[in-house]
Structure 1
Amino acid sequence: MDFFGGIRHFLFLHVLINGIFTTLEAKEEVLLDMKATGVDLGWLPWSPNQGSRWEVTQKSLNGSQFYTYSICNVGERDQDNWLRTTFIQRRPSVSRVFVELQFIVRDCHSFDGDSLTCKETFNLFVSEADADVGTTFHKGQFKKVATIAPDEVANKMEMHINTETKVVENLSQMGFYLAFQDIGACVALLSVRVYYKTCPATTKSLALFSETVAGGESQPLKEVIGRCVDNAYSEDVPRIHCAMDGEWMVPVGECQCNPGFEEVEGSCKECQPGFFRAEGSNDKCEPCPANSQGQKSGASFCPCVDGFYRATTDPITGPCSGLPSAPRDLVARHSQLSPSELVLFWQPPENTGGRNDITYSVECQRCEGSLCQPCGERIRYNPANTGLTDTKVSVSELDPYFNYTFTVEVHSGVSVFASEATARSVRPPASATLVTSLHYTDPPKITSMRLVDRDSTSLSLSWDISPRPRVQSQTIRYELAYRKKDNKLDVTTVVVLKLEKSSVQISDLSPGTAYLVKVQALGTDGSRGVSSLEEQFETLSEGHLNKTAVILAAAVAGAILVFILVVIFLLHRRKRNAHTRQGPEDTYFSSPEQLKPLKTYVDPHTYEDPNVAVLKFATEIHPSHITKQKVIGAGEFGEVYRGILKGPGKKEVAVAIKTLKPGYMEKQRQDFLSEASIMGQFSHQNIIRLEGVVTKFKPAMIVTEFMENGALDRYLRDHDGEYSSHQLVGMLRGIAAGMKYLSEMSYVHRDLAARNILVNTALECKVSDFGLSRVLEDEPEGTYTTSGGKIPIRWTAPEAIAYRKFTSASDVWSFGIVMWEVMAFGERPYWDMSNHEVMKAINEAFRLPAPMDCPSAVYQLMLQCWLQDRSKRPRFGDIVSLLDKLLRSPDSLKTIADFDPRVSIRLPSTSGSDGSPFRSVSEWLESIKMSQYSENFTRAGVVTMDQVLQMKNEDIKNIGVRLPGHLKRIAYSILGLKDQTSTLSVFAV
């Protein structure tokens, strides 16, 4: 039966040529296209009975060849006719292909007569192979893909082209064959196209993503990692997902142009000169702000032009400000409240430089003739002489008849640059200067009178006046009157002397006689000042000189004897201390030339009155000099503040202020101030410095230097993994130097721990918290015994726990624990073990294992500090020397001590703290103190512990863990989780 004969066949081809679409979307990659090939494809027809088979038909149109395969054996029984394609190779990443068929199927009812086995469907099969098998055909190797049925069938008059697309999934071998099985239909294959879908290479949010083969049903969304375009960066790795239909979906993360670049059509271009773009901005390049300029392209900010500046608190994107001009119209007026007080007034500067943070400072110089010098601390300013926001200030305690020069300087947020400008001879700070003087019309007052010298017939006296005049400009005259105290005569004789200086020698007096003397100042206009009170002075008797000589000689001899005894005592004590704690290991740890400093610590508890100890060792501060700013903590006795200390004539100093809370007992006050009595005796760069105390006002305060970074343990936990071993050893060296100083003063700390070490911005460590500290008794053992009180078990040496005997050697043990804390970035010593478990473990010779990445030399020093025999532990002088050697030889820190993550991280193999398996990834991360990465794991799709166990170092990096210390902690924890041991103990029972 000729299905494709005559005109109908030509019409069919015409429909075919115009009906088959030929456009390929960019996301489809073709493996086979029957129509586009234009040659005989050489497909293999096969039939078990060698009967009718699929036939190839060639037609030509406009010079192009078209081939079709057809079969039409509807009048025969038991049809099983196969048409196999040639070997179709696939890419390794392609596991899913689409088979698009265009075909015509003849309507069985359109045939004349009976059709014995007519069907209107045929079947699609596939067979995979690693190589081309040639013409060998085994239909048993094929598996069915689908039954192909037409939407519309053809008849004698109309031809209908059907299009079907089927999916072949889970391909895994080098290539495959397609086969079409006819079981009795009249069908013509017009086109077979095999393709797979890809997500095309694209740029999204400034991230480049490469072309990616779309996934299948088993992976509907395939994650693709991208990279930022040139001159762009991203906080998180940019990712996107390729969907089954070749569309990009679910982008995660985005890139931003580097500072100095802006986004232009999917790329980052440099800002043009005169424009800038700051860090963290998503906007376009902006013009340079006022008084700034950008001369180069790619600017992240615009520098200020000459003469204009930005304050440290000003945004880098803001305009630049000029220095303010000088204050105007500075004048001085006498105060009505006090004759020794002036009030200065001035007008604000005409030009503020465009700023509103204007303040003023006042400087004073006192001139006598041509000699001028600073006024010093004797004068007082109200409200202050610096940081003034008002345009007036009162100055008191001035002396009359002197010339004073007052200079008022104006400051703003950019005035810090004025000194730099002065150094470059560009522009000095703006100021206004006033020269004035203070004069009194009333005679001065006699404030005190004193005996300068005396003998049996004369008295030498002098006195002070207030206010004191300038002698060069005015001579003050005085009237002095004196008389005998007990005059037995009826007439009292008063002698009056006129004087022109504030001293006198009264002669021709009676031996052994008391005289009453008073002085009065006289004004130039005849006025009289306030007279002094009568004061009594007595001449010596005639035999007093001989007695005095004898007493003086005896006193000198006694002083010499006491000095000799003190020298002998000190030499004996030094000799005895030099032999204390000597043992066979001393030659390894210390030099015999080590000597203690001459200064020795004095225990304030030995004073009968603790207040005397405070006044002896600490400076009293007036509370008006202290400004509290912010509560930063709570101590045992009250709140702790950050604040400012501004003494008279001194610069402002940042301080920490401990306060004594109301309602205290006197014993609590004494204990509170005793720490100041201790700190006041120390002066070392690695010991917290005491600024002073407030005891005469409430609340009582202890004022110390302020350490910006706070306690060492918390600071290290907040910066886990950020510092190198060399930097950490440098911190330990500072702590050891401070402890060396304390031990040489015969002092035991008793509570040395990282929580009691404070850190400043320069990473300088200082020993603090002397609440548990005590002095060493003067005995060979050098111990302090206490009958009660809490002991920090994890940091305390075993002999101190057992017998409550503390020595510098027990401080060395504690220093070893501090070393471990520092190298472990603030980890808690002995983890979650109880105090009882800690003591039991130490007595059974357990020692803390080496922290992760700890240099071997540092860990060996820890072990030396933890020797059971305290006489064999190193001294602090030896520790400082060893740490200095390590710091001078950085290569010595490269050898890392053995690290067991199962012990050091304290993780059961697959369980939480209660022994049960970790229920979630977040619970596991919390157990190793890495909770901040929970969201990273969730975004990466790692939501079960089974997925965690499959992770490698590269996987951990890819989810956003960048710090080396955090990366190692997570990796070591996973290693511990993989251990099949069900429980893990730090020491064997």
Structure 2
Amino acid sequence: MELLARDVTLLWIVLLRCLLLARTEEEVLMNTKMETSDLKWTTHSLGKPEWDEISGLDEENNSVRTYQICQSDGTVSHWLRSKLISRRAASQVYVELRFTMIECSSRSTPHRSCKETFNLYYYQSDTDDATESHPAWMENPYTKVDTVAADYLLRKGGERKFNVKTLRLGPLSKKGFYLAFQAQGACMALLSVRVFFKKCPVLVRSLSVFPETVPHALVQEAQGHCVANGNYKGDAPKMFCGEDGQWVGQLSTSCACQPGYESSDGDLRCKACPAGHFKSSMGPGVCAPCPQSSSAAEAGAAYCSCRLGFYRSPTDTPDMPCTRPPSAPRNIIPDVNDTSVTLEWSDPVDSGGRSDLSYAVECTLCPPPGASGGPPCGPCGDSVSYRPSQRGLVLRRATVWGLLPHTTYTFTVHALNGVSQYNSKGLASDSVNITTGRHVPVVVTGIRKSLTSESSATLQWPVPAQTHYNILEYQLRYCEKDRLPEEQSCRYKESDSNMVVLSDLRRATLYEVQVRARTMAGFSNFSRAYSFRTLPNEDDSSSPLLVTGVLIAVGMLLLITVISIAALCIRRQNRLKDPELNDKNGQYLMGQGVKVYIDPFTYEDPNEAVREFAKEIDVSFVKIEEVIGAGEFGEVCRGRLKIPGKKENYVAIKTLKGGYTDKQRRDFLAEASIMGQFQHPNIIHLEGIITSSCPVMIITEFMENGALDSFLRLNDGQFTPIQLVGMLRGIASGMKYLSEMSYVHRDLAARNILVNSNLVCKVSDFGLSRFLQENSSDPTYTSSLGGKIPIRWTAPEAIAFRKFTSASDVWSYGIVMWEVMSFGERPYWDMSNQDVINAIEQDYRLPPPPDCPTHLHQLMLDCWQKERTARPRFSAIVSALDKLIRNPASLKITAQEGAGLSHPLLDQRPPLPPSSCGSVGEWLRAIKMERYEENFLQAGFTSTELLDHVTTEDLLRMGITLAGHQKKILSSIQALRIQSKSPGSVHF
């Protein structure tokens, strides 16, 4: 029952929101039905009868004041004028008339000039200055509203019906206006007159409030604000008020409830979080109960305060529970070994509810009992070292070295976590006292320098005699002495022998060095300090020898370089003379190291090409999730590829349908043999193939946004010119890579370019591509007779002679540029293939798309040069696009503004006018805007004849908000207007 009640409540909220959105308000300026005394309007007539004011009963039997007249002569005008009506905030008003009209044939004395209509006028004025003679009783200075005809006429014995007419008048610009009624031969009664204007009521929607708005245009923009305890990011909320007093269009808002408040009543208000709940961020989230060990005493809390004794660290988020410091570590067990000690301990009983527990060891040295005049207890100092470290210990173990012999120390182990700093009682710790052994390692003496350079020094010292333990290692401490005390820094280095090389020294710097030894009993004290200075040093006699050595080394290096260059030149010359020395398999261009594409169809066994260029993948590594399309050989799916040891990735999977022939299998895998040879960020990447199971599959990287042409059509007008140029630059870079591999694509088109989520474009679909003929200054590929050729994208020489080169790919790239800049428009529109061939032969070229930068269209024209040798190479195209990207201002010059184009252009194809189509739906499909068919029909545009006066405001009211789509629709309608003024068709 509770669920049912909640569902009913939600349903009522939704219905209420719909009613609020559709409701309109009217403000009445005058209503004669509400008058209780005489109206005393002004009448004017050149004869009898006149308008008579009488009392009558309305349809509800209420007493009302009416005017009536019954003329016998229709050649005389009889005027009736109201008092001044204040227009208030309205710029246009509505007049509702209730009247009755007697049928001419039913009148007792019918006459030839009898009429069943009357005229309505209005006159604007800033003051109530009308008199019986001013303004003049004629159409000018009055403004005519309409000739009002009766829908229902009174006749003898007929039903008594009254007429209701609502007329709009305006625009109004002065403070008030008069209404005037003119009768010329009518027999009628004016039962009531109601004057009002419409306004959009106060609207609360999506946490936004819009004030009462009076429209002053077809669509009036209204600025709103967020509801109480709400706020917005970016622009203030915006809505549109229609002239009919209804809110129209989509709500533009980013209002959201502030921290401590959540949306309620169907996004109509922001409600405070109840006590014990919180909401930490601004946005659509809901209030949540306070985390453990925290509370919120008042409503509207943005966070919950920690209870006494509990805390949050600076890195904790508000939705994390409050925690406390840990208790002390337990059971410290020391293991003393002469002058070193190993400490082990157990975890605290209470970790404080956190997982970031760590430990720190503190060493304290106190004077022996009974000593006087010595230093008080204090830290052990730098002579003590800790393994693995003194602080931040995760394991419950630490070793302390370098203690003094036969000395008592106190070791304290602290347990720490992220909130220990807030503990007013201090750190949780436990302590233990130990006394070191009696054996002391012998101190190192006699340090001397054996070799010094600008950045290094070699130091040696004699091995000290030991009586108890063998020396395990030496530790050397070296410090710079030329710096200020606060800038000095010491470094340490260990050595297994009595010699060490310091290689990270500064030039001409004085250093101080000390050495100590470590045995099983621990570290000894450091030796006395020894000082030395790095080179240059005027007193160092080794400087001349060093300079001489450097000169000899430089000379040897130059000699080796000359010999290597000579050997390389001789080898290159021999390779040019002897073709047998060239790379036999053609994998690399001679002397350049550039990889060359190998046609898999040149292999005697095509399976060998597959094995060489495509990696076999275990079918268990692939998981198919959904079918996203169909290819020539089978289905195309989206799935996941998880190779052990590598990150799981989304992939596209092409499958070979069952019942295939050996030839179909070879042709299917040939594309994998081609793709496997390419490695470039703008070429689709082959992950591998599956041939050991059914179905046979080709696995490639997954491109989230699909084919470029459909992606652009879906996002018409949504990308800037610099973004489009970036896409074109990526395609050109991929084609430059292919051309440098002596590879011709033959089917370059926007449908064969794939786009990923970062708008990176990659060339794909290598089904029509072939290897270029070798041993030719202009390598070409001749397709088999009767092969399919994409006429709209193909160069003229490739159509006529079936000669394909990288230059013919450049022609196709120009068409791709046009597709991109027109957001996926079909090249040459609805022209037939033969019309396209004829137009190109007559030197016609595609015109610039709307708002196309001049430099881009000129680059298209360069790609469409008739002579293929005159077309730019892909390397030049990439350079040209890079220059445009570096100079964005050049993209602001559109092709329509540019002048002096060197090639004749195909006449601008006018947008398809609606009149050339049988219905609104057919017209929208022709201009690729069929998604809006329902919008037009619901707005009342059911035939193409009604589209002549559609404006931008009408499109906004229909929910068509994309600027590119608005432009395409309005330009098509504009073509209809031009066609109606100057009939005829446009030809090229």
- Counterpart contact for 2:82–2:178, Cα < 8 Å: no
One-letter amino acid matched to 2:796: P
Q: Which moved more, 1:889-898 or 1:228-237?
A: 228-237
1-side partners of 2:696 and 2:618: how far apart? Answer: 11
Of the three residues 838, 841, 848, the one matched with 1:840 is 838
**Partner-residue secondary structure (3-state), 2:654:** strand
SS of 2:256 mapped into structure 1: coil
Aligned partners of 1:97 and 1:700: how far apart in 2? 76
User: What is residue 203 of structure 1 aligned with on the other side?
Assistant: 202
The separation in 2 between residues aligned to 1:676 and 1:145, in whole angstroms, is 78
Note if contact 1:785-1:805 (Cα within 8 Å) is conserved in structure 2. yes
Deviation at 1:933, TM superposition (A): 1.9
Structure 2 residue aligned with 1:807:
805
How far residue 946 of structure 1 moved from its aligned partner, in angstroms, is 3.3
| Alignment check: 8 A CA contact 1:908 1:984 kept | no
- Secondary structure of the equivalent of 1:259? strand
Question: What secondary structure, in the 3-state scheme, does the structure 2 residue paired with 1:29 have?
Answer: strand
- Give the Cα separation in 1 of the matches to 2:985 and 2:303: 56
Deviations 1:405-462 (A, max 9, x none): xxxxxxxxxxxxxxxx99xxxxxxxxxxxxxxxxxxxxxxxxxxxxxxxxxxxxxxxx
Q: Is the 8 A contact 2:223 2:237 kept in 1?
A: no
CA distance in 2, matches of 1:720, 1:236: 24
**How much does 1:725 deviate?**
1.3
SS at structure 2 position matched to 1:723: coil
Contact 1:54/1:83 (CA < 8 Å) preserved in 2?
no
**Cα shift readout 1:850-897 (whole Å, capped 9, x = no counterpart):** 222221211111111111110000000000000111111111111122
Q: How does 1:692-711 map to 2 (within 5 A)?
A: 692-711=688-707
CA separation of 1:962 and 1:568: change in aligned 2, threshold 3 A: farther
Residue 833 of structure 1 aligns to which amino acid in structure 2? Answer: M
Contact 1:902 1:973 in 2 (8 A): no
Q: Distance in 1 between matches of 2:780 and 2:739?
A: 12
Alignment equivalent of 2:733, drawn from 722, 737, 741: 737
Q: Is the 8 A contact 1:259 1:300 kept in 2?
A: no
Tell me how far 1:194 sits from its aligned partner.
7.3
Shift of 1:203: 2.3
Distance 2:663 2:241 in 1: 66
Give 1:734 shift. Answer: 0.6
Q: Does 1:230 align with 2:225?
A: yes
Structure 2 distance, partners of 1:728, 1:226, is: 32
Q: Distance in 1 between matches of 2:286 and 2:816?
A: 52
Aligned partner of 2:955: which letter?
I
Distance 1:265 1:903, change over 3 A: farther
Letter in 2 for 1:733: R
- Give the match for residue 484 of structure 1: none
Letter of the 1:760 partner, please give it. N
Q: Secondary structure at the match of 1:710?
A: coil
Spell out, residue by residue over 1:2-60, the C-alpha distance to the aligned partner (whole angstroms, 9 max, x if none). xxxxxxxxxxxxxxxxxxxxxxx99543499999999x9897999989xxx999xxxxx
Q: Which structure has the larger Rg over C-alpha atoms?
A: 1
Asked if residue 678 in structure 1 is aligned to residue 674 in structure 2, the reply is yes
1:638 to 634, 638, 648: 634
Letter of the 1:231 partner, please give it: C
Alignment-derived partner of residue 272 in structure 1: 272
1:683 partner letter: Q
- 1:517-596 counterparts in 2 under 5 A? 566-568=575-577
Q: Distance in 2 between matches of 1:171 and 1:563?
A: 92
Deviates more, 1:128-137 or 1:771-780: 128-137
Q: 1:792 aligns with which of 790, 793, 801?
A: 790
Match of 2:710 in 1: 714
* Pair 1:885 & 2:888 matched: no
Taking the aligned partners of 2:179 and 2:759, their CA distance within structure 1 comes to 68
RMSD: 6.0
3-state SS of the aligned residue for 1:766? strand
Bigger shift: residues 957-966 or 128-137: 128-137
How big is the shift at 1:754? Answer: 1.3
Letter in 2 for 1:943: T
Matches of 1:670 and 1:144, distance apart in 2:
81
Are positions 1:865 and 2:863 aligned together? yes
Which residue of the partner structure matches residue 956 of structure 2? 957
Contact 1:722/1:965, CA 8 A, preserved across alignment: yes
Q: Secondary structure at the match of 2:225?
A: coil
Partners of 2:43 and 2:694 in 1: how far apart?
A: 107
Paired position in structure 1 for 2:178: 175
**Alpha-carbon distance, 1:923 to partner:** 2.4
Alpha-carbon distance, 1:805 to partner:
0.8
Query: Where does the alignment leave 5 or more consecutive residues of structure 1 unmatched?
Result: 1-24, 56-67, 70-79, 101-123, 147-163, 182-191, 215-221, 243-247, 311-317, 323-352, 354-420, 423-559, 578-593, 912-916
Provide the rounded CA distance (Å) in 1 between the counterparts of 2:931 and 2:82. Answer: 56
Taking the aligned partners of 1:846 and 1:645, their CA distance within structure 2 comes to 49
3-state secondary structure, aligned to 1:956: helix
Shift of 1:239: 5.8
Q: 2:183, 2:914 → 1: CA distance?
A: 55
- What SS does the aligned partner of 2:652 have? strand
1:201-230 deviations in Å (ceiling 9; x for gaps): 73255575757699xxxxxxx998684742
Determine if the alignment matches structure 1 residue 874 to structure 2 residue 872. Answer: yes
1:978 Cα deviation after fit: 1.8
Letter in 2 for 1:843: E
Equivalent of residue 727 in structure 1, options 692, 712, 723: 723
- 1:760 to partner: Cα distance: 1.2
Give distance in 2, aligned partners of 1:955 and 1:223. Answer: 8
Whether the 8 Å CA contact 1:637–1:672 is kept in 2: the answer is: yes
Specify the alignment match of 1:979 in structure 2: 978
* Aligned residues between the structures: 615
Q: Deviations over 1:687-720 (max 9, x none)?
A: 1122223344444332222222222122222222
| Aligned residue runs from structure 1 range 15-54, under 5 A | 27-30=27-30
SS in 2 for 1:801: helix
Call closer, same or farther: CA 1:736–1:32 in 2, change over 3 Å.
Answer: same
Distance in 1 between the 2:675 and 2:875 partners? 21
Distance 1:279 1:840, change over 3 A: farther
CA distance in 2, matches of 1:240, 1:619: 63
Output the TM-score relative to the length of structure 2.
0.51
Superposed CA deviations along residues 335-386 of structure 1, whole A, max 9, x for unmatched, are xxxxxxxxxxxxxxxxxx9xxxxxxxxxxxxxxxxxxxxxxxxxxxxxxxxx
Aligned to 2:358: none
- Unpaired runs of 5+ residues, structure 2, are 1-24, 54-64, 67-75, 100-116, 124-128, 151-160, 171-176, 185-190, 306-311, 323-352, 354-416, 419-568, 898-903
SS at match of 1:602: coil
Q: CA deviation at 1:95?
A: 5.6
- State how far apart, in whole Å, the 1-side matches of 2:675 and 2:868 are: 27
Deviation at 1:941, TM superposition (A): 3.2
- Residue 598 (structure 2) pairs with residue 602 (structure 1): yes
Q: Does 1:775 align with 2:771?
A: yes
Q: What are the within-5 Å matches in structure 2 for residues 425-574 of structure 1?
A: 566-568=575-577
Q: Give the structure 2 partner of residue 943 of structure 1.
A: 942
Structure-2 change in CA distance of 1:743 and 1:239 (3 Å): same
Q: In the alignment, what sits opposite 2:615?
A: 619
Residues 92-136 of structure 1: per-residue CA shift (max 9 Å, x gap): 734636799xxxxxxxxxxxxxxxxxxxxxxx9999675735458
Q: What displacement does 1:782 show?
A: 0.8
The answer as to whether partners of 1:227 and 1:238 remain within 8 angstroms in 2 is yes
For residues 47 and 870 of structure 1, do their structure 2 counterparts lie closer, same or farther at Cα, with a shift above 3 Å needed? closer
Q: Is structure 2 residue 736 aligned with structure 1 residue 748?
A: no
Q: Mark the CA change 1:35 to 1:831 in structure 2 (over 3 Å): closer, same or farther.
A: closer
C-alpha contact 1:910 1:977 (8 A) present in aligned 2 = yes
Aligned equivalents of 1:266, 1:603: Cα separation in 2: 64
Secondary structure at the aligned position of 1:647 is classed as coil
CA contact 1:662–1:699 (8 Å) conserved in 2:
yes
Task: Tell whether the 8 Å contact from 2:619 to 2:693 is kept in structure 1 after alignment.
Answer: yes
1:751-782 CA distances to partner (integer Å, 9 max, x unpaired)? 11112111111111111121211111121221
- Aligned residue type for 1:860: Q
Q: Displacement of 1:814 after TM fit?
A: 0.8
The Cα shift of 1:726 comes to 1.0
SS at match of 1:633: strand
Partner of 1:759: 755
What are the superposed Cα offsets for residues 565-617 of structure 1, whole Å, 9 maximum, x if unpaired?
Answer: 5444689999xx9xxxxxxxxxxxxxxxx997622222222222222222222
- What secondary structure, in the 3-state scheme, does the structure 1 residue paired with 2:700 have? strand
